[in-house]
């Protein structure tokens, strides 16, 4: 992707003065501000209507900058080498003298950190003198944004600038792994857990049971298109949109599909934009046909289950 330097310059200027802007990442767009600035972090919560007790992910260019804020361990370094930059977020111990805003961490002694792969945002991060706090750029509990147009739908002119980066190539939020003790997955995401297991050569616990909320991203209603979602449906109701993994030979106007041939990575990329499209067409609800629970299909199902809690 060709980098528009004038856009990077504008983004940098706005962030330097404590503004929030939207940034593209390979997972979803983020609503970003200076992670060292209390003022900027407060603004993020307000714009997103996000509860104060839900801490933010901090985005870094590389580990050089991160060393000021966190303690590393061997597992982190191993995963970092293999998967970063990329769709994985690490929970690490925060250093006592870290300058990260207490608003962003919700006064926890841990920090969620990520190294996004998107070339535009990497270019920006390299130019900044601070890391970026950035939750997904959507209104709290709603579907994340995977394009600049999605961000504008949610925030209109409430945010001063959306840094253009095209459509997010992965389309699902990062996988969150807690590395403080035995590695634990706190949120399924854009990096398939089996790839992590293979590298670490052990079974990794997935602790994202919505009944035991540890991280608010696990909370019951999330990723909601704003209309009811029903899962594993064989027979739809009147006025319902019908969502399939792959394109049907015989299609109807209310049929939507996530991929041409059933590829789960392609489906992940199209999930949020398709949910948003269906909502725009004013269907009353969405019936989802079965989606295989493997690879990124696991994350797709996780999001749809939470979206179905409306």
Q: What pairs with residue 113 in β-bridges?
A: 58, 90
Binding map of ligand TXA across residues 205-224, x = CB under 6 A, - = no contact:
----------xxx-------
Tabulate helix, strand, coil % of the chain (nearest 5). Answer: 35, 20, 50
Indicate which single residue of 11, 22, 24, 30 sits in contact with ligand TXA (rule: CB under 6 A): 30
CB nearer to ligand TXA: pick between 111 and 241: 111
Return the one option of ligand TXA, Mg ion, none that residue 37 interacts with (CB less than 5 to 8 A, by type). Answer: none
**Torsion angle (degrees, nearest 10) of CA 186, 192, 197, 200:** -90
User: Which residues from 176-205 bind ligand TXA, rule CB under 6 A?
Assistant: 176, 186
In angstroms, the CA 145 to CA 76 distance is 28
Q: Which of 25, 37, 136, 273 binds Mg ion (CB under 5 A)?
A: 136
Beta-bridged to residue 241, according to DSSP, are 286
Instruction: Report the residue number, 275 or 287, with the smaller CB distance to ligand TXA.
Output: 275
230 within 8 A of 287, measured Cβ to Cβ? yes
Residue 262 and residue 245 in contact, taking contact as beta carbons nearer than 8 Å = yes
Q: Which two tokens stand for residue 145?
A: 């944004």
Q: Which does 295 bind (CB under 5 to 8 A by kind): Mg ion, ligand TXA, none?
A: none
Could you tell me the smallest distance in angstroms from the CB atom of residue 249 to ligand TXA?
35
Element (H, E) at 310: none
Which range, of 24-32, 124-132, 156-164, 262-270, touches ligand TXA by CB under 6 A? 24-32
Q: Which residues, in sequence order, are CB contacts of 289 under 8 Å at separation 6+?
A: 232, 233, 234, 242, 243, 244, 245
CA distances from 41 to 46, 52, 89, 198 (A): 9, 10, 19, 36
Q: Does 43 bind ligand TXA (CB under 6 A)?
A: no
User: Comparing C-alpha atoms, which of 167, 93, 104, 160 is closest to residue 132?
Assistant: 104
Partner from Mg ion, ligand TXA, none contacting 140, C-beta within 5 to 8 A by type? none
11 binds, among ligand TXA, Mg ion, none (CB under 5 to 8 A by kind): none
Q: Measured from the CB atom, is 89 or 148 closer to ligand TXA?
A: 89
Segment contacting Mg ion by CB under 5 A, of 10-18, 106-114, 128-136, 190-198: 128-136
Measure the CA angle with vertex 101, ends 56 and 46; round to 5°: 55
Task: Provide the β-strand partners of residue 34.
Answer: 132
Helix (H) or strand (E) holding 302: helix 296-307
- Least separation, in Å, of the C-beta of 135 and Mg ion? 5
**C-beta of 136 vs 168, nearer to Mg ion:** 136
Nearer to Mg ion, 87 or 245 (CB): 87
Residues lying near ligand TXA in the complex (CB under 6 A):
25, 27-28, 30, 54-57, 89, 91, 108, 110-112, 114, 116, 134-136, 173-174, 176, 186, 215-217
Contact footprint for Mg ion (CB under 5 A) = 136
């Amino acid at each position: 992707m060709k980098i528009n330097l004038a856009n990077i310059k504008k983004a940098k200027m706005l962030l330097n003065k404590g503004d929030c802007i939207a940034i593209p990442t390979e997972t979803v767009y983020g609503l970003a501000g200076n992670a060292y600035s209390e003022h900027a972090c407060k603004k993020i919560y307000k714009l997103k209507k996000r509860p104060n007790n839900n801490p933010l992910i901090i985005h870094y260019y590389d580990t050089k900058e991160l060393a000021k804020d966190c303690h590393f361990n061997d597992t982190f370094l191993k995963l970092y080498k293999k998967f970063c930059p990329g769709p994985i977020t690490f929970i690490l111990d925060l250093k006592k003298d870290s300058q990260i805003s207490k608003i962003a961490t919700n006064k926890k002694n841990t920090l969620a950190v990520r190294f996004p792969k998107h070339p535009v945002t990497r270019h920006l991060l390299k130019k900044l003198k601070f890391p970026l706090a950035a939750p997904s750029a959507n209104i709290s509990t709603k579907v994340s944004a995977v394009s600049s147009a999605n961000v504008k739908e949610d925030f209109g002119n409430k945010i001063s600038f959306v840094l253009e980066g095209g459509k997010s190539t992965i389309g699902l939020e990062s996988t969150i792994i807690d590395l403080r003790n035995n590695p634990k997955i706190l949120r399924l995401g854009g990096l398939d857990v089996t790839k992590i297991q293979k590298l670490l050569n052990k079974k990794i616990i997935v602790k994202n049971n919505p009944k035991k909320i540890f991280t608010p991203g696990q909370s019951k209603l999330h990723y909601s298109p704003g209309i009811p979602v029903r899962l594993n449906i064989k027979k739809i109701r009147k006025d319902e949109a019908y969502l399939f993994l792959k394109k049907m030979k015989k299609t109807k106007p209310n049929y939507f599909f996530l991929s041409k041939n059933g590829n789960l990575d392609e489906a992940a990329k199209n999930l949020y934009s398709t949910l948003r499209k269906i909502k725009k067409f004013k269907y009353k609800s969405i019936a989802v046909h079965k989606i295989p629970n493997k690879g990124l299909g696991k994350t797709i199902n996780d999001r749809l289950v939470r979206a179905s809690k409306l």
